[in-house]
Structure 1
């Protein structure tokens, strides 16, 4: 039998580092270790009962068959209403694309539009999957760094320097995974001024954490504050984070009809339609009560404040305070070169994360996975008791470095 060989396309990408950390933590837990995993990016709250009830009713109505490839009309209508109500954006249902999660939305957009040699500007630190989806689609990721000194945000001059005649897309994520940085309306307008000078550049704005902002932050999205970019912006969102529906796998986006039709063609030959039952649950999520979202965001803010305070009391760590999402992205630059009790020298954030897991059984994701070192990411989507214990272990680990 012939040996299996990966395709050249697959060889260009790597497995998800965040999923790898979670899997490693689970394996150690199965061995009896008392591991605290702070790697997964999903809310620890249950899906609201009214949304679950809507799914049950859909099953009982027999809504268990194939649907339109990229979403039922009822869900597309609910998405249009959401964009109008919350973002002041007008879309027709023919401008809406629904997929089995946010990741397939991005993948479909890249596959539908990129040719070899096309470049995609990705601000770093970035969500781990952006570059690899660009590579799978045959494009070339170009990284534009948002430094800690600028709040991990992309400056207009940095964006300008990254754009070339080959640039096809800018992927913008606010609030950000992994840093939690969120762009103000003024900051988006400044980036928009750059983009207006480069009409060949399309914008994919990943707004998945829109409803998880803190300290009375006023959320805006780029097509809202720079309407001149409306005709080349794909505004993406989903029900995973705000509605605690990660496993339901519903992401959506709205944009120009030619792009949406092209994305529909990709989906028709890959996943086909998103789960019919999950789509009806998403209709209820978008149309039903929304008050619990602010209540849960307030809980996340308390957790953020706890984690930021405790990490800033850890020797050699500096942790900025993020505006949103449920992550912190602290630096360990003052710990590089230190020696762990095992004898290993901490030469990188990957070394730090590995030694922390082995010595204190706390799983975090190293910063190199997100394109900016030396940092690490913590997801604080878990209880205050668990976070207090985890941060105490991190403090103990840092104190043990010599």
Structure 2
């Protein structure tokens, strides 16, 4: 009898975590490495949020919390959805998890049966298909095109839906491409979903506040209120408030789904960290001036990276609308020889040779379901980005 669960054979480790750890290990050995692999703002958590956590400790807010979250945070979440997205949810229709990943996993665990399909546009965040597979479902990938800036078209969505489709997994702005959907683009997708009443919508809005220029953010249930009773809108404080380590994600949706997720969470982790929840209350209810400041910095970094990568021999880098990633194609370099003498046959070969030769850590696009591309996170200083891009340019120029 095998000791480990068969389910483990269906999933693989996170490529982003693996590459980031590889970069850490190389740094630990004294190698000059610039890591552009991690999806984490380089800013510190705003002081008012940290102060709220300290105050919560001083008040003795250190006990177990209700499974779906403390009442003040659930109220703050409902208020946020109304204020920023014009979505009417009662606090009881919200749930708090230990990060957005936890919320998504609980939604899949609570709803997926063997044979159920989940439609996922590619490129996708590496964890979506693994969660679905672990829960016994079947990911159905829809490959987007660089010519469409990696955005799904309504025709592509319609073709992917079958009688077995349980969920449509939607992420805008996207990790890894940074692509964000306009109101009109979303309306075209929601029109398709309205034709398929058996399909639920799970939206990952984690990068909502990181959109650039005059782009106006909208979320599916906001664009099509007819989807409210079959949409789970997920968000969190990690990216907008630089609170990745606090591990607070949240969602809102129909009562029956939230209750089902609460049932799963009650036997899994119980309530999220009490102190982190009180910090999240301050993040959502407190001053929001940190957000436009960080957005401006990220926009400048995006423009810098897109410009420099498009000057690199053999790279093509679209200019995304949001998040803090770009997703350049290295298709023109496939089949050519790296300075080490190795032939670059895949995007994984490209990023590994780049790391070994120039000490720049990025993540290969095949791990996000679409290559030959690679993901660059520009959530680091301008100086580090300029140096990293110079190294990438040098590496690309050396490929023959």
Partner of 1:336: 334
Secondary structure of the 2:309 match is helix
Partner of 1:157: 155
Partner of 2:227: 229
Q: Is 1:289 aligned to residue 257 of structure 2?
A: no
Partner of 1:208: 206
Deviations 1:292-313 (A, max 9, x none): 1011100000000000000000
- Runs (5+) with no aligned partner, structure 2: none
Deviations 1:343-394 (A, max 9, x none): 1001110000010000001000000000001000000000000000000000
Distance 1:370 1:84 in 2: 32
Q: Is 1:260 aligned to residue 258 of structure 2?
A: yes
Partner of 1:373: 371
Distance 1:6 1:400 in 2: 45
Q: Once the 2 structures are TM-superposed, how far is the Cα of residue 272 of structure 1 from its aligned partner?
A: 1.0
Alignment match of 1:359 (pick from 342, 357, 360):
357
Equivalences for residues 279-318 of structure 1 within 5 A: 279-318=277-316
Deviations 1:1-42 (A, max 9, x none): x9x742101111011100000000000011100011100000
Secondary structure of the 1:358 match is helix
Deviations 1:117-156 (A, max 9, x none): 0000000000000000001111000001111111101100
Q: Is 1:73 aligned to residue 71 of structure 2?
A: yes
Secondary structure of the 2:275 match is helix
Q: Is 1:126 aligned to residue 124 of structure 2?
A: yes
TM-score for both structures, normalised by structure 1: 0.99
Alignment match of 2:168 (pick from 151, 170, 194):
170
Distance 1:87 1:293 in 2: 16
Equivalences for residues 85-124 of structure 1 within 5 A: 85-124=83-122
Partner of 2:21: 23
Distance 1:332 1:380 in 2: 18
Deviations 1:64-108 (A, max 9, x none): 010100100000000000000000000001110100000000000
- Runs (5+) with no aligned partner, structure 1: none
Q: Once the 2 structures are TM-superposed, how far is the Cα of residue 158 of structure 1 from its aligned partner?
A: 0.3
Distance 2:146 2:365 in 1: 12
Partner of 1:37: 35
Partner of 1:7: 5
Distance 2:308 2:236 in 1: 32
TM-score for both structures, normalised by structure 2: 0.99
